[in-house]
Structure 1
Amino acid sequence: MNFWEQLTDGLHMHEVLLFVLGSLFFLVLLFLMVLYAWRKEKLNVLLLFFMIPIVMIGWPSIARIQINEAGIALENTLRTYESDPQDPETRKALQAQVKELEDKGVKNPKTLINMAKANYMLGNDRDALQTLDKIPEGARESVGADDLKSTILVTQDIERKLQQAEQAPTDDNLEILRISKDKLLNKAANNIRLHQAVRKSDSLTQKKQ
């Protein structure tokens, strides 16, 4: 992202316009202030007008700060949810924070990857994949977008095989599930959804035995 994209990321069109027009108005007032000073005219009238661009610039600036804070809050809540996925309040907070950032149309790759992780942890794989697709090609490797996409697909695969084995616990289905599960043991240690799938797989195969 270039400087302008970072500056306006998550702002609505009217907020961007306010920021641009306010900045231009501020520059015009500065020019007039220098001109008045050079002509030795009174500056009182101009000083009052400075309140207008300050408000115009301040509004979107506050909105931008709130977006940054929302991104940090999401990261913290995601960390909390990973340590305790059973807490309904944390889950609710995570859903609300993701929706807030989605409504803002955030484009920052670091925020997008956290939004995708949150959707994945919440079981919203489709939303997670759509969010990953918004990350620019040049930033995908640095934020781990392709790794997360691979993890999502692997999770969908093991959960699909687990469902098949639950519905039809034949020897073939259980063996396929066991082989797939064994390949995921290392990844499952640090992944809630994979860990749950592995645990369910072990329970299912043990019952069959």
Structure 2
Amino acid sequence: MTYFERLTDGLQLHEVAMFILGGLLFIVLLFLIVLFALRKRQLKPLLLFFLIPIVMLGWPSIAKIQLNQEGLTLVNNLKELEKHPDDEALQSKVEQSIQVLEEKNVNAPDKLADIARAKYLLGEDKGALETINKIPEADKAVLGVAELQRAIRATQDLERKLEKAKASPTPESLDILKITKTQIEADYKFSEHVRLQRYVNESDSLIKRNR
């Protein structure tokens, strides 16, 4: 993303327009002040007009600050939810932050990565993958979403095999589940994903009960 795209990311069209026009008006007024000063004309009437660009620049700036604060809130709540994945109050807060950010149509790769992690933790695998697809390929490795994408696929695969083994705990289904579980456990990068580890633990318990 360009600097301007990052600066205006999440702002509504009218807020972007206010930001641009406010900046242009501010520059024009500065030019007029210099011109008036050179011609030794009174500056006081002109100074009053500075209230207009200040308001026009201030409105989208406040909106941007609130948006960044919402993004920070999501990150903090996400960290807590990873520690307490069954906390319904935290789940509700994370869902609310996701809704706010998506309504603002944020496109910053780091914010999209946070949204994808949040959706995955909430069990919204499809939504998480759709969000990941919005992130440029060059940013995926840097932000760790390529690894998240692998974890989501692994979670879906293990969950599917776990449900099949629960419904029909035959030696064949349990062996398939055990092989998949062992492969996931061997990949240390997957250990940080709470949902995946939960399915690993459930699989382990099911296999032990049906020995």
Give TM class, smaller chain.
over 0.9
| Counterpart AA for 1:175 | D
Take 1:203 and 1:187, find their aligned partners in 2: how far apart are those partners? Answer: 22
Which secondary structure state, in structure 2, belongs to the residue aligned with residue 40 of structure 1?
coil
Please list the CA deviations of residues 117-161 of structure 1 after superposition, one character each: whole Å capped at 9, or x if unmatched.
000000001110111011112211111121111110011000000
User: Identity percentage over the alignment?
Assistant: 46
The equivalent residue for 1:24 is 24
Cα gap change, 1:37/1:22 in structure 2, threshold over 3 Å: closer, same or farther?
same
The equivalent residue for 1:206 is 208
Please list the CA deviations of residues 46-105 of structure 1 after superposition, one character each: whole Å capped at 9, or x if unmatched.
111110110000000111111111111111111111111121111111111111111111
Equivalent positions of 1:45-84 (< 5 A) are 45-84=45-84
For this pair of structures, how many residues does the alignment match?
A: 209
| Counterpart AA for 2:27 | L
The equivalent residue for 2:162 is 162
| Counterpart AA for 1:31 | F
Unaligned runs of 5+ in 1: none
Take 2:190 and 2:109, find their aligned partners in 1: how far apart are those partners? Answer: 25
Structure 1 position 188, deviation (Å): 5.2
Take 1:194 and 1:107, find their aligned partners in 2: how far apart are those partners? Answer: 27
| Counterpart AA for 1:97 | S
Unaligned runs of 5+ in 2: none
Take 2:156 and 2:29, find their aligned partners in 1: how far apart are those partners? Answer: 59
Take 1:111 and 1:188, find their aligned partners in 2: how far apart are those partners? Answer: 22
Take 1:198 and 1:59, find their aligned partners in 2: how far apart are those partners? Answer: 49
The equivalent residue for 1:189 is 191
Take 1:93 and 1:30, find their aligned partners in 2: how far apart are those partners? Answer: 45
Which secondary structure state, in structure 2, belongs to the residue aligned with residue 135 of structure 1?
coil
**Conserved 8 A contact 2:151-2:196:** no
Which secondary structure state, in structure 1, belongs to the residue aligned with residue 192 of structure 2?
coil
Equivalent positions of 1:1-209 (< 5 A) are 1-185=1-185, 186-187=188-189, 189-209=191-211
Take 2:9 and 2:74, find their aligned partners in 1: how far apart are those partners? Answer: 16
Cα gap change, 1:149/1:188 in structure 2, threshold over 3 Å: closer, same or farther?
closer
Which secondary structure state, in structure 2, belongs to the residue aligned with residue 107 of structure 1?
coil
Take 1:182 and 1:137, find their aligned partners in 2: how far apart are those partners? Answer: 30
Take 1:95 and 1:200, find their aligned partners in 2: how far apart are those partners? Answer: 26
**Conserved 8 A contact 1:77-1:90:** yes
Structure 1 position 182, deviation (Å): 1.3
| Counterpart AA for 1:95 | E
RMSD: 1.2
